[in-house]
């Protein structure tokens, strides 16, 4: 499948363009906002996730047992930090993102030997794991904007995720609350996830911009 990474500017050009009067804005929020303005359909939000959303996505994971965790669409690391905070010392977190500016950011900002950032599309999850000798992840946390994705790409990603999740593992995914109005397209994420997972539970998180539903999926 074709990668979209080439649509993003290099991390150097991003750093240059967010320099203001010689001082560089290195906060995750400004980088995230800037990248969203360049490509809102790929970044899928104007702001990183809140700590409440990060907690809701992490809670369903059994961190006492999880050894391999994969994060899809890591962005500036809002959820990554929460996962690392909860993970055991011997566990590994693979953080996948298609945007090189976000990969450079987390490489600089998150210094943790359990964390492995991977530049590339989530649709290549299987090959990322196989290259590292891993068959299945114990948990997958996805922030991918499935709503704004093309149907073929999102189906391919979910096939990969379901195939590479351990049988007793868990996948968490969120979707921003949508406004329903006649004529507006409405993507039912829960129904879509049900095509791949036997059990899909949901929880609403209002303390996020925008508020979101978190789906917890089991095979």
Ligand X SMILES: C[S@@+](CC[C@H](N)C(=O)[O-])C[C@H]1O[C@@H](n2cnc3c(N)ncnc32)[C@H](O)[C@@H]1O
Site residues for ligand X per CB under 6 A: 42-45, 48-49, 72-75, 78-79, 96-99, 102, 121-123, 143-145
User: Please, what is the minimum distance in Å from the beta carbon of residue 151 to ligand X?
Assistant: 14
User: Please, what is the minimum distance in Å from the beta carbon of residue 55 to ligand X?
Assistant: 12
Residue 2 vs 167, nearer CB to ligand X: 2
Residue 21 vs 30, nearer CB to ligand X: 30
* Peptide bond between residue 210 and the one before it cis (omega within 30 degrees of 0): yes
Residue 45 vs 104, nearer CB to ligand X: 45
Residue 31 vs 200, nearer CB to ligand X: 31
CA 30-31-37 angle, to 5 degrees, is 90
Contact 201, 216 (CB under 8 A): yes
User: Please, what is the minimum distance in Å from the beta carbon of residue 175 to ligand X?
Assistant: 10
> How far is the C-alpha of 60 from the C-alpha of 83, rounded, in Å?
11
User: Please, what is the minimum distance in Å from the beta carbon of residue 148 to ligand X?
Assistant: 9
Phi and psi, residue 126, nearest 5°: -55, -50
State which H helix or E strand residue 35 sits in: helix 28-38
State which H helix or E strand residue 127 sits in: helix 125-131
User: Please, what is the minimum distance in Å from the beta carbon of residue 76 to ligand X?
Assistant: 6
Count CA within 13 A, CB hemisphere, residue 178. 17
User: Please, what is the minimum distance in Å from the beta carbon of residue 121 to ligand X?
Assistant: 4
Phi and psi, residue 132, nearest 5°: -105, 10
> How far is the C-alpha of 83 from the C-alpha of 130, rounded, in Å?
22
Residue 65 vs 210, nearer CB to ligand X: 210
Neighbours of 4 (CB within 10 A): 16
DSSP helix/strand/coil, 3: coil
Residue 75 vs 169, nearer CB to ligand X: 75
DSSP helix/strand/coil, 78: helix
């Amino acid at each position: 499948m074709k990668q979209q990474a080439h649509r993003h500017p290099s991390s150097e050009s991003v750093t240059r363009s967010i320099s203001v009067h010689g001082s560089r804005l290195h906060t995750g929020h400004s980088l995230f906002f800037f990248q969203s303005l360049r490509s809102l359909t790929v970044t899928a939000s104007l702001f990183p996730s809140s700590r409440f959303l990060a907690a809701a996505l992490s809670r369903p994971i059994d961190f006492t047992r999880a050894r391999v965790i994969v994060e899809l669409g890591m962005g500036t690391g809002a959820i990554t930090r929460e996962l690392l905070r909860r993970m055991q010392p011997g566990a590994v977190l693979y953080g996948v993102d298609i945007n090189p500016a976000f990969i450079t950011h987390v490489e600089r900002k998150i210094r943790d030997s359990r964390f492995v950032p991977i530049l590339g599309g989530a649709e290549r999850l299987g090959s990322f794991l196989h290259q590292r000798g891993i068959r299945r992840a114990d948990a997958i946390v996805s922030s991918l904007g499935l709503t704004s994705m093309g149907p073929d790409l999102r189906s391919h990603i979910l096939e990969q995720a379901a195939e590479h999740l351990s049988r007793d593992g868990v996948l968490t995914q969120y979707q921003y609350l949508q406004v329903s109005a006649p004529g507006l397209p409405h993507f039912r994420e829960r129904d879509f996830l049900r095509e791949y997972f036997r059990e899909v539970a949901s929880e609403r998180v209002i303390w996020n911009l925008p508020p979101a539903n978190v789906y917890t999926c089991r095979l």
